[in-house]
Structure 1
Amino acid sequence: MKLKYLLFGVALIGLTSFSDDNLDIKYTTTSKITNTVFQASEGEKLIAKSDCIGCHKLDKKLIGPSYLEIAKKYPQTDKNVAYLTGKIIKGGSGVWGAIPMSAHASLKKDDAKSMATYILSLKK
């Protein structure tokens, strides 16, 4: 019986050692039609790791507006990227309704800028 457990353990360790865990794969998708690889932007990765998803979704209003609504409202200009970067860091209210967006003061300005740039890039 001990031999069975030993062989099972060795087989399990052997199989798991061949896994190819790469953190970037979480953010990579492949289109089956064109066999094209789409790499997520830095802003998209930062949003996925943050608390943004508690209030915002890509295409549906949750507590705050969807990212597509934001992209539709603000053209992708340096001025709008700077404005949204400030809003992400400082928070605010009144633009999209009475519910305020909480501040993210601990977020680096470059990270907030990447997030804003990604959101504005969603405009179709």
Structure 2
Amino acid sequence: MEKNPKPTEAVASVGKKLYSEKGCLVCHQLNTKLVGPSVKDIAAAYSGNKAGLTAYLKGEGKPIVDLSQASVMQPQIAITKALPADELDAIVDYILSIK
């Protein structure tokens, strides 16, 4: 089994919807840094490291993107780590599908 399988289009599509519904895009736009880094910057930093991004969003890992703004994300970690595993997985797949 592949360690970091590529996200399927279907799962990434569900993830994109959840990304919007859960409010992630308020701080993280596709191409533009707002409060937090852009989705493209996050995807590039975590490319091939789905486990690392998942761990961070579960509150179990350290940030590797835009460290100067990491403290702003901390209150949101309570939200992401409370997500059902399938929803978090879909959001991570969506982020990592961005090129």
Between the aligned partners of 2:60 and 2:36, the Cα distance in structure 1 is 12
Aligned partner of 2:97 in structure 1 is 121
Please give the per-residue CA displacement for 1:1-46, whole angstroms capped at 9, x wherever unaligned.
xxxxxxxxxxxxxxxxxxxxxxxxxxxxxxxxxxxxxx87111011
1:83 Cα deviation from its structure 2 partner: 1.5
Q: TM-score, normalized by length of structure 2?
A: 0.69
Assess, with a 3 A threshold, how the Cα gap between structure 1 residues 98 and 122 changes in structure 2: closer, same or farther: same
Between the aligned partners of 1:111 and 1:81, the Cα distance in structure 2 is 14
Aligned partner of 1:98 in structure 2 is 68
Assess, with a 3 A threshold, how the Cα gap between structure 1 residues 63 and 93 changes in structure 2: closer, same or farther: farther
> What is the correspondence of 1:5-44 to structure 2 with a 5 Å cutoff?
41-44=13-16
Unaligned runs of 5+ in 2: 1-9
Please identify runs of 4+ aligned residues in structure 1 that moved more than 4 A.
91-94
Unaligned runs of 5+ in 1: 1-38
Assess, with a 3 A threshold, how the Cα gap between structure 1 residues 47 and 91 changes in structure 2: closer, same or farther: farther
Q: TM-score, normalized by length of structure 1?
A: 0.57
1:93 Cα deviation from its structure 2 partner: 6.0
Task: Give the structure with the higher percent strand.
Answer: 1
Q: Give yes or no for the alignment of 1:62 onto 2:34.
A: yes
1:85 Cα deviation from its structure 2 partner: 1.5
Assess, with a 3 A threshold, how the Cα gap between structure 1 residues 51 and 93 changes in structure 2: closer, same or farther: farther
Between the aligned partners of 1:110 and 1:119, the Cα distance in structure 2 is 14
Aligned partner of 2:23 in structure 1 is 51
Aligned residues: 83
Between the aligned partners of 2:61 and 2:68, the Cα distance in structure 1 is 10
Larger Rg: 1
Aligned partner of 1:4 in structure 2 is none
* SS in structure 2 at match of 1:87: helix
* SS in structure 2 at match of 1:98: helix
